[in-house]
Amino acid sequence: MLTEFHYLAPDLECTRRLGQRLGALLFPGAVIGLEGPLGAGKTCFVRAVAVGLGIHDPRLVTSPTFILVQEYPARWPMHHVDVYRLRSPQEFIDLGAEEWLGGAGVCLIEWADRIRDVLPEDRLDVVIDVSGAQQRSFHAAAHGPRHGQLLADWARSMQP
Ligand SMILES: Nc1ncnc2c1ncn2[C@@H]1O[C@H](COP(=O)(O)OP(=O)(O)O)[C@@H](O)[C@H]1O
Ligand SMILES: [Mg+2]
């Protein structure tokens, strides 16, 4: 089972393709933790995942920095959370995290490294590094068999 996947996106278009391919493969209960500095492309990536999940207008997907969590109807309900402004991991639980994690929908969390302790172990972590003005370096790590399979399918879908 593949547990790690690295992808270099030379531009935004490649980030979009990467996210769409992942979105097309997500299953109910999938949890994706996103890490990377401000401007890395976490929200852009989530928009692309949304397209892969069947949300036709990704502009509908806005950054949840102030709203903290947004739910979008899609093939599976998509929960998009940004925990940047949370003061503690407990606040994430108090927001109703249990409902979005491991449930009928999928959950994408920006700044997941800040609340790692309260996330399910079974998840996919995606770290985005800024490696150039338009270039982003993606490092994905899967935990648990379902997300391991997801990672393997995602990596295969990106093969030329
Ligand atoms: N390859 C790329 N992938 C993602 N974003 C990129 C890329 N190249 C440039 N960008 C720009 O970087 C910014 C990423 O913003 P955003 O997705 O809001 O970041 P974050 O949510 O990580 O703070 C956008 O302005 C986007 O146009
Ligand atoms: Mg963001």
Mean pLDDT per block of 10 residues along the chain (160 residues) reads 92 98 98 98 96 87 74 93 91 90 92 94 97 98 96 95
pLDDT of residue 60: 78
Q: What predicted TM-score, i.e. pTM, was given to this entire model? A: 0.95
Q: Tokens 């393709």 identify what position?
A: 17
d(CA 97, CA 152): 27
Tokens of 134: 């338009």
User: Of the bound ligands, which one is closest to the alpha carbon of residue 37?
Assistant: 1
pLDDT of residue 32: 98
d(CA 145, CA 3): 9
User: Of the bound ligands, which one is closest to the alpha carbon of residue 64?
Assistant: 2
pLDDT of residue 103: 84
Nearest CA to ligand 1 atom 11: 41
Domain count, the chain: 1
pLDDT of residue 78: 95
Q: Which atom of ligand 1 is nearest to the CA of 37?
A: 22
pLDDT of residue 65: 65
pLDDT of residue 150: 97
Give the CATH number, domain containing residue 49: 3.40.50.300
- Which residue range(s) make up the domain with 131? 4-157
